[in-house]
């Protein structure tokens, strides 16, 4: 007698590895479909559904690789890291890491693979920010908020990449068919306000400042860190933080901060 567990283990493997050996042991032909033809519908649907979701989660990477190479990467990814979550939103969570771990050019790194990995990280971050709990409907910091009460808002992330991936992504969005960009370090802040995610290019110094805040320190600490690590007099950093139109005002206007009480 064949148990339910055995059948489910067999059928799941048949979907994942496209095998139909033993289908005759578990399945009977119907009046319309042979056992393997019926199974093939599930096999095709499993793969196509995941591929189409991954294409939607990584549209710029799909553009960069071309759909067929992209699909090949996805096929390898889900074979090695099959979906585990109840939600398809989780599908792309491990993709950038997977590309990094399994890169075929380990001995002689190729620059385009670095680009693919960074682009995948950026797209995943955008995807996460799209649906993460945010500050919509709550109070943001204003010019009057004291430094001690400034906190980065919940829907905020920083990114440091080896390529201008945000520009590339938005060029794909604008359907301008961008070419693979040359390697140039890029730093960005990503923030969601009114359900729109903004990517703001940052200088390396601004990135360092915001990283210090993100790690839970206050503005004074960030000023001291930047002064020490970049070699700028602390008063100059302080001035550029506080000056009209300076970092503080621009980032408050961009919705980076909420006002923390207590």
Partner 1 sequence: MRLTRPKPLGLGLGLRNVHFGHILSEWPAVDWFEAISENFMDSGGYPRHVLNRVAERYPIMLHGVSMSIGSTDPLNLPYLRQLKRLADEIKPAGISDHLCWTGVLGLNSHDLLPLPLTEESLAHVTRRVRQVQDILERPLILENPSAYVHFAHSTIAEPDFLRRLSDETGCLLLLDVNNVYVTCFNMGTDPLAYLDAFPCERVVQMHIAGHQHCGTHIVDTHDRPVRADVWELYRIARARTGDVSTLLEWDGNIPPFAECHAEVRKANQAIVADRPDPAPDSGVSNPVDFMVPQVMDSTVLANA
- The residues binding partner 1 (CB under 8 A) are 1-5, 7-9, 11-12, 15-16, 25-33, 35, 37-39, 41-42, 44-46, 48-50, 53, 56-57, 59, 82-89, 126-127, 129-134, 136, 166-167, 169-170, 173, 192, 195-203, 254
Distance separating alpha carbons of residues 7 and 53, to the nearest angstrom = 27
Contact yes or no for 59/123 (Cβ under 8 A): yes
Question: Considering beta carbons, is residue 33 or 230 the nearer one to partner 1?
Answer: 33
Question: Considering beta carbons, is residue 162 or 198 the nearer one to partner 1?
Answer: 198
CB of 183 to partner 1, least distance (A): 19
CA proximity to 180, closest of 109, 115, 105, 110: 115
CB of 160 to partner 1, least distance (A): 15
Question: Considering beta carbons, is residue 52 or 235 the nearer one to partner 1?
Answer: 52
CB of 1 to partner 1, least distance (A): 8
Instruction: Please list the alpha-helical segments (H only) found in 111-184.
Output: 111-131, 165-173
Question: Considering beta carbons, is residue 88 or 113 the nearer one to partner 1?
Answer: 88
CB of 253 to partner 1, least distance (A): 11
CB of 217 to partner 1, least distance (A): 24
CB of 108 to partner 1, least distance (A): 33
Contact yes or no for 189/210 (Cβ under 8 A): yes
Q: C-alpha angle 238/241/242, rounded to 5°?
A: 90
Residue pointed to by tokens 């790194």: 109
Token digits of residue 224:
């001291």
Question: Considering beta carbons, is residue 15 or 224 the nearer one to partner 1?
Answer: 15
Question: Considering beta carbons, is residue 42 or 112 the nearer one to partner 1?
Answer: 42
Distance separating alpha carbons of residues 64 and 96, to the nearest angstrom = 14
Distance separating alpha carbons of residues 57 and 54, to the nearest angstrom = 5
Contact yes or no for 208/226 (Cβ under 8 A): yes
């Amino acid at each position: 007698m064949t148990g339910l567990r055995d059948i489910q283990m067999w059928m799941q493997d048949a979907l994942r590895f496209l095998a139909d050996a033993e289908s005759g042991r578990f399945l009977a032909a119907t009046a319309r479909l042979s056992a393997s033809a019926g199974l093939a519908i599930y096999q095709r649907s499993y793969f196509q559904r995941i591929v189409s979701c991954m294409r939607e989660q990584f549209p710029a990477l799909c553009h960069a690789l071309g759909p067929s190479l992209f699909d090949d990467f996805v096929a390898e990814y889900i074979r090695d890291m099959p979906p585990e979550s109840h939600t398809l939103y989780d599908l792309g969570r491990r993709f950038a890491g997977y590309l990094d771990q399994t890169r075929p050019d380990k001995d002689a790194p190729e620059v385009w693979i670095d680009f693919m990995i960074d682009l995948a990280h950026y797209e995943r971050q955008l995807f996460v920010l799209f649906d993460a709990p945010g500050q919509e409907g709550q109070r943001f910091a204003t010019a009057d908020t004291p430094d001690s009460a400034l906190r980065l808002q919940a829907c905020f992330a920083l990114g440091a990449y080896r390529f201008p991936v945000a520009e590339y992504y938005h060029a794909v969005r604008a359907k301008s068919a961008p070419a693979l960009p040359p390697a140039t370090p890029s730093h960005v802040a990503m923030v969601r306000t009114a359900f729109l995610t903004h990517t703001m290019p940052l200088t390396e110094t601004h990135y360092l400042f915001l990283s210090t805040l993100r790690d839970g320190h206050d503005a004074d600490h960030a000023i001291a860190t930047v002064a020490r690590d970049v070699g700028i007099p602390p008063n100059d950093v302080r001035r550029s933080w506080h000056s009209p139109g300076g970092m503080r005002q621009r980032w408050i206007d961009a919705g980076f901060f909420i006002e923390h009480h207590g």
